[in-house]
Amino acid sequence: MTDVTPEMLRAVADWIFDTALPASVAHALADAARQMEREQADEQRIDELAAEAYRAAGVYLKSSTNWKNASPSAVGLYSAVIRAVLYRIEQEDAGTPTSKVCGQTRPLGDPFRCSLREGHSGAHEAWAGNSTDRKLCATWENE
């Protein structure tokens, strides 16, 4: 069985853009690819931070500092601690915007503003709804 990768999702999204299928399907797949990449990056970050914590504890306790030789229970424990710390930081940062939104208005004089991050490349997109129930309302290119 082949695992679905962000690259595969993007390839299908690109193919959909070239067909008569709704662009919203392609946007949903592109969003899923971005989410997969974020989750993969989060897992890598957690592993790196858990390894650092393990090494620091090893120095402090004058014991092993080699993460590659850590027992599965130690890997699980340190990863769980890092997840808990990151979750707490995320909760404390909730409501604090981490990135600015482009906000460019569509040149047709309607109320649509770009919902993508500031500095994005490609077409502008106006989305409505929350993160689990989003609808693409409009797209436009820079003039």
Are residues 138 and 71 part of one domain? Answer: no
pLDDT at 108 over 80: no
What is the pTM for the complete model shown? 0.48
What letter does residue 134 receive in the DSSP assignment?
E
Are residues 62 and 5 part of one domain? Answer: yes
Are residues 87 and 22 part of one domain? Answer: yes
pLDDT tens digits for 1-30? 668 888 888 888 888 877 777 778 778 888
Give how many domains the chain has, as a whole number: 2
Are residues 71 and 141 part of one domain? Answer: no
Are residues 114 and 138 part of one domain? Answer: yes
How far, in Å, are 16, 25, 34, 38 from residue 86 at the CA level?
37, 32, 20, 14
Are residues 88 and 28 part of one domain? Answer: yes
Joined together, the tokens standing for residue 79 give 């990863």
Query: Which pLDDT band, with edges at 50, 70 and 90, does 129 fall under?
Result: low
pLDDT at 131 over 60: no
Are residues 109 and 85 part of one domain? Answer: no
Joined together, the tokens standing for residue 139 give 């797209």
Tell me which residue range forms the domain holding 135: 99-143
Helices 6-17 and 23-61 pack at an angle, to 10 degrees, of: 160
Are residues 61 and 31 part of one domain? Answer: yes
Average pLDDT, whole number, for the chain? 80
Are residues 103 and 69 part of one domain? Answer: no
